[in-house]
Structure 1
Amino acid sequence: MGPVTPRTFPPAPAWSPDGHRIKASLEYFRGPDKTWVYGALRVADGTAVTMTASSRNSFFYQRFLQQVEEANPGENDIWVIADNLSSHDSLATRTWLADHP
């Protein structure tokens, strides 16, 4: 789902004498407090599985896949749509997928 970066903006100082809003400068930076969000949806009944992670790597992706598998017990197929991020196609992820047909 992409990164979510917590950030705060100081309030605008006030209004200008001619009635226009004074624009406040943003104090924005991408720091170590970035959080990644993974998400899955079971279309049949609208059940969602979400997970946050501090990094986008194979370890967290496989942890997310495990949560999706646990939320969908039974013999039904699970279809995964993913982009070409290396953690989605790493050797560790392919091994995990082979062990969880």
Structure 2
Amino acid sequence: MVVITDNLSSRSSWKVRQWLLRHPRIRQVFIPAKACRLNLAEGWWRLLRKAAFAGQTFADATEIAHALTIATAQLNTCAQPWIWGRPPPRPRTFRRTFVYLL
């Protein structure tokens, strides 16, 4: 079994290393450093935090669950395929067109 992690502290954590020694079937694989874009969960959490938690306070866990349900439904209504990288730049539109007649 393979566990993919991106937490840098887990690479050198004594508790994690001891646990992995006790479980030889489990192998830890790391996302390369400076490659957080490979972890799609990070982008999803950023969108969910912005939609559900930004500027709000909650009294209990049921309010948090309700906010998550509403935010997930709203995000699913406008879901689009994930596109890697930046989109190509739009072509420049010139304000004036100069035409030279000879």
TM-score (norm 2): 0.21
TM-score (norm 1): 0.21
Higher-strand-fraction structure: 1
